[in-house]
């Protein structure tokens, strides 16, 4: 009797895992993993804006902390200071601007939905047009 109960429990556990795998595969088998256009387009406008606001604020804050953590001695030359601050990346426009362009990019170039959001954002920061970004990412494989 104990063996049957163990066998039934084992069968139930296996059935659960088979159902779990089947459900996860059936959800969207063609969508690659990662934070890309597939995920971006499933987010609400508020989620998109919030993500970008946080990303841009955090990115700038991280750069500020990195440069200030160097504890720059007064004897450093101006060229040495520019080494740190010269790499400072800025997002000059409001986060909603980038959210709108990202959405347009993934809607206009549906074949590029596999491209990670942060790659597209990098090119937008450099003020590349949507068409230029499409050309730059064409044929590239992303993780």
**Cα angle 7, 9, 10; round to 5:** 65
Mean pLDDT for the stretch of residues 107-127: 92
| pLDDT score for 47 | 93
| pLDDT above 90 for 44 | yes
Half-sphere exposure for 100 (CA within 13 Å, toward CB): 5
Q: What is the pLDDT of residue 27?
A: 34
pLDDT at res. 92: 82
More confident residue, 12 or 134: 134
- The answer to whether 108 and 102 are in contact (CB under 8 A) is no
Q: What is the mean pLDDT of residues 62-91?
A: 62
Degrees, nearest 5: CA angle 19-25-29: 165
> Taking the model in full, what pTM does it have?
0.64
Mean pLDDT of 83-98: 74
Q: What is the pLDDT of residue 59?
A: 76
pLDDT averaged over every residue in the chain: 73
Please report the pLDDT score of residue 14 as a whole number.
38
Mean pLDDT calculated for residue range 1-30: 41
Positive or negative, the CA dihedral 106, 109, 114, 117 is negative
Q: How far apart are CA 76 and CA 27, in angstroms?
A: 57
Q: 50: alpha, beta or left, given left = phi > 0 and alpha = psi -120 to 50?
A: alpha
């Amino acid at each position: 009797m104990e063996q049957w109960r163990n066998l039934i429990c084992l069968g139930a556990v296996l059935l659960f895992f088979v159902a779990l795998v089947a459900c996860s595969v059936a959800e969207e088998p063609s969508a690659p993993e990662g934070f890309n256009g597939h995920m971006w387009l499933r987010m609400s406008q508020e989620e998109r804006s919030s993500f970008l606001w946080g990303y841009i604020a955090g990115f700038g804050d991280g750069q500020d902390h990195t440069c200030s953590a160097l504890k720059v001695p007064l004897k450093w030359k101006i060229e040495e200071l520019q080494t740190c601050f010269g790499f400072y990346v800025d997002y000059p426009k409001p986060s909603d601007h980038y959210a709108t362009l990202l959405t347009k990019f993934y809607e206009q170039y549906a074949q590029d939905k596999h491209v990670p959001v942060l790659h597209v954002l990098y090119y937008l920061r450099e003020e590349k047009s949507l068409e230029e970004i499409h050309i730059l990412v064409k044929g590239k494989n992303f993780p």
